[in-house]
Amino acid sequence: MDQFFGRAYVFIPCYLDGKELKGSETEQGSYVTEIADRFSEEISNRSWNQFERGALGRFSFNFHGESEKDTNCEQLPGDVYFTLNQRTQLCILTIVFGVTGEPITQLLDRVSREGIEIADGDERNANFYAYLKKKHGLQVSGKARVCLSTGRKLPETLKPSIFANEMYESDVMESAGLLPTFGNGSWQENIAVYNSSEIYASKTTVLRYDSNLDNDDPELSGTSVKAIRRDLMLTFIIELLMFREASIKRANLRVTHSIQTDEKLELDDINDLMGDFKSAILFWDLDIFLYPSAQQLADRLFEKFDIDRSLETYRKNQSFLEQRVNLSNAAQAEKETRTINYIAIIVFFFEVVPLLFVLAQSFIQKQPLDMSVIYSGIAAISVSFVLFVIIVGIVRMRRLTKKAVRS
């Protein structure tokens, strides 16, 4: 079976869309104050004080049932906390579960398929992501990750399902079990930097084994302050990495939307789209961690989470969008130049040709040219030139106005 004893942390990357996020009051010693203290001890001063923290409350989550599709699941309470970066409006939600022997892999499966459900009033199976959007204006931006912390050894046969974030012996997969070679077995590598624990990670899941936890001491079991505090040596790093995930995914969502909707964009629009990512550059600061040990663990988790792939996708989409804008601008410039040339020809025909006709007639008939004709010709050419300049100016002003409206 996939019974689990310990703590399950679900990290959900979001961004706040037009609402003010208000949390309930928290007491000293709560998860909120503990992670704030950890940030102040581990993160550079220029970065950690830009965060706002709070609690959204306790919810009853669908946790396990007879199968993945069971709508009458056993529920488990989970405390939901948020960390909001005020500058970027990026937000990481953390759900903390105290698990005392319940099956764990159905929760992981729900996280993978973005099917986390809660009891919301009379509705027992409300989609948690939809609730966040409606109630708090939080848009999910990126893939959620799970961290499991326990003081008890897990069966080796269970580990592949945990690191794949899949239900163990799933009915959908005809109870087939994952092989240990899943993910090339990379999740079997212990990436811990301290001897107090073992840490294993895949793209979606982190497992922390600490033999001091979840035994006979209640102060080091469940969601006790001491147990949470020991986990924070790892979980604060995961939260920071999730901000990286959120920053890339939010920027990439906007770029992808522009590509799919075939919007007509200018280079200024590209800069605006890049603004989301530029504002979040603090999460990519190589010196954000004060201690090399934390930086080393963050680097390994960053590699395991495969966040670089999301960054590469963003760069490719951005490059494609810039190329499309350049081609569009070149085509528009060519069209405007052609229009101006046509206007110039028309003006020349109606204003200059009659003057040339008078000059040619005077030359053939060997008659003196009336000065009034010369003056009128010069005036006509001057008016034509001024008209031409005005038309060019109007065309350019229209382009500048379009840019101003879009920005």
Per-residue CA distances from 361 to 350, 378, 384 (Å): 17, 18, 23
How many angstroms separate the CA atoms of 336 and 320, rounded?
Answer: 24
Name, in order, each residue with C-beta under 8 angstroms of 54's C-beta and a sequence gap of 6 or more. Answer: 21, 22, 23, 24, 26, 32, 81, 82, 84
Contact 9, 147 (CB under 8 A): yes
Is it the case that residue 337 has pLDDT exceeding 50? yes
Mean pLDDT of the chain: 81
The average pLDDT across 216-222 equals 89
pLDDT at 172: 59
SS3 101: strand
Question: What is the radius of gyration, based on Cα positions, of the chain?
Answer: 32
Percentage of the chain exceeding pLDDT 90: 43
Contact 13, 246 (CB under 8 A): yes
pLDDT at 405: 45
For residue 365 the two structure tokens come to 């008939």
Confidence of residue 324 (pLDDT cuts 50, 70, 90): low
The average pLDDT across 210-223 equals 90
Contact 12, 136 (CB under 8 A): no
SS3 218: helix
The average pLDDT across 250-269 equals 66
How many angstroms separate the CA atoms of 246 and 239, rounded?
Answer: 11
For residue 63 the two structure tokens come to 């946790």
More confidently predicted of 258 and 294: 294
- Write out pLDDT tens, residues 37-83: 999 899 887 666 678 999 999 999 999 887 777 778 899 999 999 99
pLDDT at 247: 85
- Write out pLDDT tens, residues 84-96: 988 889 999 999 9
How many angstroms separate the CA atoms of 35 and 54, rounded?
Answer: 11
pLDDT at 318: 66
Name, in order, each residue with C-beta under 8 angstroms of 389's C-beta and a sequence gap of 6 or more. Answer: none
User: What's the angle, vertex CA 357, arms to CA 351 and CA 362, rounded to 5?
Assistant: 135
Contact 11, 81 (CB under 8 A): no
Confidence of residue 353 (pLDDT cuts 50, 70, 90): low
pLDDT at 159: 92
Name, in order, each residue with C-beta under 8 angstroms of 128's C-beta and a sequence gap of 6 or more. Answer: 59, 61, 116, 117, 118
How many angstroms separate the CA atoms of 119 and 60, rounded?
Answer: 6
User: What's the angle, vertex CA 391, arms to CA 388 and CA 395, rounded to 5?
Assistant: 140
Contact 243, 280 (CB under 8 A): yes
User: What DSSP assignment string belongs to 168-205?
Assistant: TT-TTTTTPPPPTTGGGGGGGS---SSTT-EEEE-SSE
The average pLDDT across 350-377 equals 64
Full-model pTM: 0.76
In 3D, which of 216, 89, 109, 195 has the Cα closest to residue 152? 216
How many angstroms separate the CA atoms of 184 and 179, rounded?
Answer: 10
Confidence of residue 369 (pLDDT cuts 50, 70, 90): low
Is it the case that residue 382 has pLDDT exceeding 80? no
Is it the case that residue 322 has pLDDT exceeding 70? no
Phi/psi of residue 359, nearest 5 degrees = -65, -45
